[in-house]
Structure 1
Amino acid sequence: MALTLRTLCASRTLGLRLVCPSADQDRALTWVHSSELSDPTPYLDGDELLLTTGLGPAPDPAGYVARLVAHGLAGLGFGCGLGHDDLLPALREACERAGLALLEVPERTPFLALTKAVAEARAADRYAEVVRTDEAQRALTSAALGEDDPDTGTARVLDRLTERLDAWALISEADGRVRRSAPAGAAGRAVLLRSEIDRVREHPGPSSVTVAAGDGQVVLQPVRLIGPAVLVVGRDRRFTPVDRQLIGSAVSVLTLAHARSAAAGRAERRVRTAVLRALATLPGRGAEDVLAETWGPLPAGDLVAVALGGRATGAPPDVLLDALERDPGVAFHAELDGQVAAVVGAGSVPAVLDVAGRVRGVRAGVSTPAPVGDLGRALREAGRALDAAERRDRTVLRFADLAGSGLAALVRPEDAGAFADAVLAPLVRHDAERRGDLVASLREWLAQHGQWDPAASRLGVHRHTLRARITRAAALLGRDLDSPGVRAELWFALHVADTA
């Protein structure tokens, strides 16, 4: 409890008398200081009780009081019986006009006694703050660690924090959603604080932001849950250093509580990955039963795989997995080969894309429908669609649209280029060293479906010359050009080389 002028005057030991009853007696005091300067304000911070024997104010009482009031002094104590037997009438009048508290200090009370009284009161306040802080930290720790479910623990921590601070609080997650709030209506404040929340979340190191809100304040601090989240606490008056310490304690216990459950969460996610891999590679071998007993059965009918991630996203898989786990519209999901895969019915694809859209930078690839026995194909399609979405800078790409764009759309440009260079290297080298036309001849021959006369006519050479070139090309390539598969590979390589 802060020390006030009223508290000092109530002490019989000090024997102080308040001369200006209209002044604010409940103003908190930070310290007591004595000075006989005519202008002591350069050596004061404000909110102090200044003690004088009258030497300072005597020459100009009105100007003296005006300077004290302008500097924010809490009051003036006048020591009687030293320089002056009684209060200076002009000083009393100046204090009454300015509303500055004026205390009469009897001769029997040394100024040192007031200094000791204020020091002891401040020490008692600090000790009480330490006790209250310790109790509050214990309450927060008990709330966080007393529950096996981290979400329940988070809610309890926010409840305890808001009770202690008489404030509201919320946690904004990496995807921008409010994970918990206390009271529940405080969740709506996240929209108004969006820019500040993003600034704290995206800061590379630990940071804390304080925002003025009318007469109150809002404090934002990063907290590590599944991903980078932000704890936001606000109220209609300013936070004290002790309040801020308690907010920091809440951040610590929330982080520890979620770290405790992280090991179990990682173990479950490894099991999810194993089950999904078994579904894809060993259909009908019991993985469906394990999934149904543990997480519930897959939707009836054909399934759709949705791959989430992408090289450009800064969101770790844990953030995506956590977001999917908390959405009832997603049937089953797991991390697989560096991506997050969700397996749902066709009607639930929008729900998955909606969750992914709330995590910044995430891209999605969507497969064509497939029965559960062909889930491996669906997962491969989704993965290829995701890779293509990354290359094309698309947020969502469906494999059906990708397949309609041709074979080149299914292969990474760098992989296709490397393949074309390797396949055509003998012909390119031959043409460069001997000024030949094997690459052009092969391209035209394949374009004419292996028909000699049309190809030779287009090239402007005799068909026997073309035969010799194609025979030479086959020898250099070491491939049978009568094979449809070889012709398809060569045509693809030539197409890639033409578009490079």
Structure 2
Amino acid sequence: MPPTINTIRHNGSLNLRLVTPDAADPALEAPVSWVHSSDLDDPTPFLDPGQLLLTDGTQFPVGDAPASLYSDYVERLVSHRICGLGFATQVIHGVLPQGLEDACRQHGLPLLEVPDRTPFIAIIRFVADWLAREQHARSEWSLQAQRAIARAALRPDGLRSILAELERQLHGWVALFDAAGNHILMPNNRPVPSALMPGVKEAVTKALDQGSRSVSQLTVDGEQVTLQTLGRRHYLRGVLALGAIEPLDPARTDIINSVIALASLALEQTRTLDTARRHLRAGVFEQLLAGSTDVAERTARQVWGRLPSEPLMVTAALPSGQGQNLLEALELLSDDHRGAVFYAQRDQNVVVLAGSALQDKVTALLERYGASAGVSGETAFANLAQGLKEGERSLQRAVELSRPLVGFDEISQAGMLGLLRRDEAGSVARRLVAPLAKHDESEQTQLLPTVSAWLRNNCVWDRTAKELGIHRHTLRNRIDAAGNVLGLNLDSLRDRLELFAAVEFLDER
């Protein structure tokens, strides 16, 4: 820690006298970053905040001077965040100017009287030596801490040992979160305070969702927490969270950077293995599609335990820019529900097999990572190819409609009109039938209600005429008139279907 004003004034060899404030004032514990001497009226352009200024008062007239002169001078120092002022007596001024003392007391600036037998260089040398010792001590601590962390990295449980050593060196708590935002419990590590965990997990999720390398500091429940992502852009492996630590100086920052590098390396070492596992998953899925269920089950049992039980649902998903993070999350989900969730990459899509009981968790995970998805109906491994087609068809519809998820049951139950139904259909329908509505309003006719009734009765003339209470020839004349207004030939099946679809979508609005 740098010396404080109290540290400097308590050095007996300097013979400094505290003028203001009182000895118990916390302003005297402000750290002094350096000592500078100047007799300028405004020395602030040459000073940095946190410095102690020494002056012999050449800038002040000897004898009486207006109070505003001292007040303006001290106010400039305080505005620049100068931590204290040392004034030499018996050099230019025999005694400390009362106006300066009053101004320092008014503005809360610590004031020290420097006797003529104490040269400024002695004060400067004292602070310089103190800072040099501090710097040497921090460098020595940093070197020893680096060695301890390097030794920890060589242990069998390298990652856990590294994080435990970091906690010991920083005297705080350290938490590691995986690529899906789950807290990885480390034996012997200090627990994250329970009151902080919800806020920390929320911040971790946001950092991972951004998909890029980042470091951030935030305040959670009154405590400072530092978050550092691990991994590469779009290939994040997790987040390191640090709390209850002292402010980060260069030495502590170096230690944290070393741990981040080692932790990232440890996590990256598993990437090759993860890639091999995903290739194996893809091979197992192709075996299932080819009907080699026995071979696929034996392979899966040796690596993942088993395959999901029938009946199962096939989810075809198109990852967003966070594709790698999605795969990491699916891997963790399959580990958490061992044997109940299986996923594989297939071309640009990701296919997930799961029972209906876990489908909500699969859907929530895909939505979190911005993937578009389509879900098949329940199926068996014997019909996996058909289930995959249903999932892919539903995914195609989800992409077309810009929706996160479409189920195949929605498509099959809605029929062809269901395939056409989307937000734009209503506006298109209104534009198509708008001429009829305008004609009815201006000519006081009933063309639009007549057409709606006619289509509702499957274009049966007698039934429609009876419902409307008009003669069938009148009905025919109205339909012909409607066709002329719309520019449609309603004797044509194609034009009838277009008008029918428009009326259907119009009635839904």
TM bucket (normalised to shorter chain) is: 0.5 to 0.7
Asked if 2 retains the 8 angstrom alpha-carbon contact of 1:227 and 1:318, the reply is no
2:137 paired with 1:128: yes
The answer on 1:54 being equivalent to 2:63 is no
Pairing 1:282-321 to 2, within 5 Å after superposition: 282-283=291-292, 285-300=294-309, 302-310=310-318, 314-316=322-324, 318-321=327-330
Q: Aligned match of 1:109 in 102, 111, 118? A: 118
Report the aligned-residue RMSD: 4.2
Cα 1:90–1:398, aligned 2, differ >3 Å: closer, same or farther? closer
Distance in 1 between residues matched to 2:387 and 2:182, nearest whole Å:
30
Letter in 1 for 2:135: R
User: What is the correspondence of 1:207-222 to structure 2 with a 5 Å cutoff?
Assistant: 207-211=214-218, 217-222=224-229
**Counterpart residue number, 1:119:** 128
Contact 2:306 2:339 in 1 (8 A): no
Identify the residue that residue 278 of structure 1 maps to in structure 2. Answer: 287
- Does the Cα contact within 8 Å between 1:169 and 1:234 map onto a contact in 2? yes
Quick one: which of 39, 42, 46 aligns to 1:43?
46
Question: Residues 239 and 158 (structure 1 numbering): CA distance in 2 closer, same or farther, change over 3 Å?
Answer: same
Which of 348, 361, 367 does residue 371 from structure 2 map onto?
361
Shift of 1:97: 5.5
Counterpart selection for 2:361 from 351, 358, 372: 351
Distance 1:310 1:211, change over 3 A: same
Give me the whole-angstrom Cα distance separating, in 2, the residues matched to 1:200 and 1:114.
Answer: 50
TM-superposed deviation, 1:373:
4.8
Aligned CA distance change for structure 1 residues 407 and 277 (closer, same or farther; 3 Å)? farther
* Structure 1 residue 14: Cα displacement: 3.5
Q: Give the unaligned 5+ runs of structure 2.
A: 420-496, 502-509
Instruction: List aligned pairs for 1:304-343, cutoff 5 A.
Output: 304-310=312-318, 314-316=322-324, 318-328=327-337, 331-338=340-347, 339-343=349-353
Are the aligned partners of 1:312 and 1:361 in contact in 2 as well (CA < 8 Å)?
yes
Displacement of 1:112 after TM fit?
1.9
Name the SS of the counterpart of 2:29 in structure 1: coil
Q: Match of 2:337, SS?
A: coil
CA shift at 1:208, angstroms?
Answer: 4.1
- Shift, 1:34, TM fit: 0.8
Which moves more between the two structures, 73-82 or 240-249?
240-249
Q: Deviations over 1:253-312 (max 9, x none)?
A: 332221112122222332333333333325255332232233213355x24243342165
Cα pair 1:33 1:51 within 8 Å, conserved: yes
Correspondence for 1:29: 32
CA distance in 2, matches of 1:144, 1:390: 46
Structure 1 Cα separation of the partners of residues 228 and 184 of structure 2:
15
**Partner AA of 1:322 in structure 2:** E
Confirm or deny: 8 A CA contact 2:207 2:229 kept in the other structure.
no
- Paired with 2:154 and 2:180, the residues of 1 have a C-alpha distance of 25
Question: C-alpha separation between the residues in 2 aligned to 1:133 and 1:308?
Answer: 51
Shift of 1:242: 4.9
Q: 1:190 Cα deviation (Å)?
A: 3.9
The residue aligned with 1:9 is 9
1:72–1:173 CA distance, 2 compared to 1 (3 A): same
Q: 1:373-392 to 2 correspondence within 5 Å? A: 373-392=382-401
1:78 and 1:177 mapped to 2: Cα distance? 59
Structure 1 residue runs of 5 or longer lacking an equivalent are 411-494
Output one character per residue of 1:408-432: Cα deviation in whole Å (capped at 9) or x when no partner.
999xxxxxxxxxxxxxxxxxxxxxx
